[in-house]
Every structure is written in C-alpha cells, then in structure tokens.
C-alpha cells in the first residue's frame, strides 16, 4: 500500500519506518525543510534502539521517502496518517492546532478516496473535528471526494518502540465505516499472522482507550510511590512489599517499581489532558488528580532526602548525577525527574557532574548556558567521570550500565561515599557493609 505519514517526530518516524520495513511505500512529511534534508542524509532526530538501520535501509531502497510537500506525499496514497505533536496547554488541554492544520491541508489536496488516520494522541472527539476540517476544505474547493476518518492510537514505549510496532500486543482501530475497516485490516494483516491482534471499535472508544491506558499505568506508578513514601516512615523495605504484592496475578509486577516519578511526553501530558477533558464535562477526576499531584511531588523526594542529609545550603558540595533522560533507552528529557533534581540542587548552591548514555545533548538545551560555562553543571562522557570529587551520587535513570558499577572504585574516587538511589537499583545492606551511606525510595 502507499502511505503518507505527516510528522517525523517520535510517532511519525517510527510509524513510517516500520511500515516501510513491512514493504509498504511510505512518504513522511514535515514542514521543517532542514529536518527533512538532514533525514535524507541519514540523521536521526531521536534516539530509539533499532530505528536508524530501518530508516537507512528503507530510504536506500526507496520504500521510505521524506518531503516537505503533503500534496506530493498524498499522490495515490490510500492512507494518510496524522502524527504531529499535541503539546499541552497551560490548562492541561491537548493543543490540536497542528492536527487540524494538517486535516485542512489534506482537504486541500484530496483527489480520491483516502483513509485519514489520527495517530497522534488526541482527546475524545478529535476525529469529529478532523472530519469537519477536511470536509470544509473540500466544500471550499467544490470537490466531492469520499474519505473516512479513523483513530489508530500508538502504544509505543520509548526505548522499545520498534519492537512494539513490529510485534504489537494489540492494534486498536476506531472506525465507523466498513470501507475504512477493510483498508485498515489489509494494512495490518501482516502484523496479525500468528493471531488477530486488531481490535476494532468506535472512533471515540479508540481515542479514549489510549488515554485510559496511559492513565492506568501512571496510576500504578503513583500508587506504588505513595506506598514507598509510607514505607519510609514506617521502617519498611518497599522492595519486599513490591515482590509480595506483585506475585498476585491480579496486580502483577509491571509498573509497580517505586522511584522518583514518571516523566516523558506521554504520561504527564495524557493524565493532565484527561483531567482537563473531565472538567470540561463537569466531572471531577479525584483519582487522576491525585495521580498527577503525587507524581509532581515525587520528583522532589530525592532532593528532600539530600537536604535532610546535608542541610538546606548545599554550597561547596558536588553531586554526581547518573541519568538525564526520563527513562532508559531514550534521549528524551521532557519532564524528566533528573532535570527537576538538577535544578533544585543548583538552586541550593550545589555543583553537578552529570552523565547519561544518550541524553547529554538534549539536556544541554534545557539548561542555562551560564551553568555550563561557569562549571555549575559539567556534562561528562563517562559515568565514572561524574563521580570525581563528588560528595554524593544521585541515580535517577536506571540505564543498564548503572546496575552493576564498580563500587570499590567509586568509593575511592568520591569525596564522600554516599548514594541517593532514585530507582532502588542497589542492595542497601551490602552497600552499607562496603562503607556507603545509602538512601533509596521507601527503603532507607
């Protein structure tokens, strides 16, 4: 099939590359001419394991193309995916201006039956707005061209997006017409050879499914963080509690790891958007509001532990920081707990030596140039460099190289052997026997 994918961000690029890998002809569209030019040269705008070789291979074999022209991409395309950003507004609502702008441009260029698919995470009712936007432009042209709108939300984990796309556990498709249902079934048939993973439902149902899924996962995280904070006050090791409740098949082990809060482009934005949507419809989402508030506060838990140990004035102290991305496997620092901690430490007078396997460049953009120039924050290229002369280590992102470090070498290079473990990666008992002071989440 011939596909057009509008947007070359996280969702759009993964979607376009993976469909091309399955043999479809895909043209990705972006209004940023410089970005399109760099993509053609093999540059990747994001770090995602396994993505670059797929993009390069399919571009070389001309199954994956990049352009700034939607009209060019839509020529003979049977499906157009809208995969542009929906940034949060100040009130938590999802900003649909880019989605609807694309919809209007689709209407300007539609010449034959096409399925218009919203791939971006959008509020319930967005497909209706897309349908109106496309239809209004057709009316202005005096054109009578059939089209259908479909909701096909993505369920991709950053750091495992390619695998999630190629081997999905479910494919949610919201449709309201048999014709578009048949087109989408044909598109995804090769992803369901082992068993049918496609779940067809109403369009609004599909839009809600995406939000509800992310909100549920965020709820599990915030609930476990709440329990961890209580464990801190009761002298309980939350890791034993986690194992005890996770063994219950009704609960399971996924997303019950305590830590210093969730971040990224999905959970925070989607929880706020759902709270906003509920408010617009006269409903008070008490649980979701609590999930959001717990997470915002949780990002400061590690800093409060540091202040309790060192005092409020951290002048003259240096902290090694392991992890800048909001999670391992990505260079995404949006709403990262690591940057919240970094900013709080600097505000209290501390200096930072920070390391991340992939997110150093992305983090630089988020920090004041003066901090980087005057040595307040030093970005290093090796994890142990971050510990040279450090009074303590704060681990915030659980990258695999951080799991089994050389503690003996760390003890020798650090000014003080103190670890603040924001992801409970280490055994506090063995560390204390090795001469470290240890502070975890719900176990110190």
For the annotated catalytic residues, the residue numbers are 266
Q: Residue 176 CA to chain centroid, in angstroms? A: 29
Return the bridge partners of 65, or none.
27
CB 98 within 8 A of CB 84: yes
Q: What is the DSSP string of 176-217?
A: SSHHHHHHHHHHHGGG-SSS--EEEE-HHHHHHHHHHHHHHH
Cα(332)–Cα(326) distance, integer angstroms:
6
**What totals of helices (H) and strands (E) does the chain contain, helices first?**
18, 14
Cα(178)–Cα(200) distance, integer angstroms:
11
CA dihedral 290, 291, 294, 296 (to 10 degrees): -110
Structural tokens at position 23: 């043999």
CB 118 within 8 A of CB 85: no
DSSP-derived 3-state class of residue 306: helix
Q: What is the DSSP string of 22-86?
A: TT-EEEEE-S-HHHHHHHHTT--SS--TTHHHHHHHHHHTTSEEEES-HHHHHTT-SEEEE----
Cα(263)–Cα(380) distance, integer angstroms:
23
CB 29 within 8 A of CB 73: yes
Cα(47)–Cα(60) distance, integer angstroms:
20
∠ Cα 369 267 278 (to 5°): 120
Phi then psi dihedrals of residue 291, to 5 deg = -60, -45
Q: Which residue has the tokens 């008992």?
A: 429
């Amino acid at each position: 099939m011939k596909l057009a994918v509008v947007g070359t961000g996280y969702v759009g690029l993964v979607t376009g590359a993976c469909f091309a890998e399955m043999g479809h002809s895909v043209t990705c569209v972006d209004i940023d001419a410089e970005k399109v030019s760099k993509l053609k040269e093999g540059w990747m705008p994001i770090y995602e394991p396994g993505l670059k070789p797929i993009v390069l291979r399919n571009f070389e074999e001309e199954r994956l193309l990049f352009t700034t022209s939607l009209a060019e991409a839509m020529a003979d395309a049977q499906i157009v995916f809208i995969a542009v950003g929906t940034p949060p507004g100040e009130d938590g609502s999802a900003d649909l201006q880019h989605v609807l702008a694309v919809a209007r441009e689709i209407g300007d260029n539609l010449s034959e039956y096409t399925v218009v698919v919203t791939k971006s995470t959008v509020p319930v009712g967005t497909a209706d707005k897309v349908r109106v936007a496309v239809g209004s432009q057709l009316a202005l042209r005096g054109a009578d061209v059939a089209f259908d709108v479909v909701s096909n939300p993505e369920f991709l984990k950053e750091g495992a997006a390619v695998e999630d796309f190629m081997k999905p556990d479910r494919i949610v498709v919201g449709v309201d017409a048999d014709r578009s249902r048949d087109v989408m079934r044909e598109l995804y048939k090769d992803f369901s050879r082992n068993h049918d993973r496609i779940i067809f439902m109403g369009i609004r149902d599909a839009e809600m499914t995406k939000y509800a899924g992310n909100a549920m996962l965020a709820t599990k995280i915030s609930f476990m963080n709440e329990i961890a904070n209580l464990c801190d006050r009761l002298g309980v090791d939350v890791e034993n509690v986690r194992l005890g409740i996770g063994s219950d098949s009704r609960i399971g082990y996924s997303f019950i790891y305590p830590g210093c809060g969730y971040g990224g482009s999905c959970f925070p934005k989607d929880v706020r958007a759902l709270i906003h949507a509920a408010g617009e419809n006269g409903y008070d989402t008490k649980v979701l509001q609590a999930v959001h508030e717990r997470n915002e506060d949780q990002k400061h838990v590690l800093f409060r532990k540091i202040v309790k140990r060192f005092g409020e004035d951290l002048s003259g102290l240096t902290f090694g920081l392991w992890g800048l991305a909001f999670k391992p496997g990505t260079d995404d620092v949006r709403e990262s707990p690591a940057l919240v901690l970094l900013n709080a430490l600097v505000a209290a007078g501390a200096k930072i030596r920070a390391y991340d396997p992939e997110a150093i460049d992305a983090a630089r953009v988020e920090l004041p140039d003066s901090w980087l120039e005057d040595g307040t924050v030093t970005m290093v290229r090796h994890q142990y460099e971050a510990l040279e002369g450090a009074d303590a280590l704060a681990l915030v992102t659980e990258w695999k190289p951080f799991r089994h470090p050389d503690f003996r070498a760390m003890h020798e290079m650090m000014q003080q052997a103190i670890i603040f473990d924001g992801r409970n990666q280490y055994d506090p008992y063995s560390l204390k026997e090795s001469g470290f002071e240890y502070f975890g989440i719900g176990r110190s």
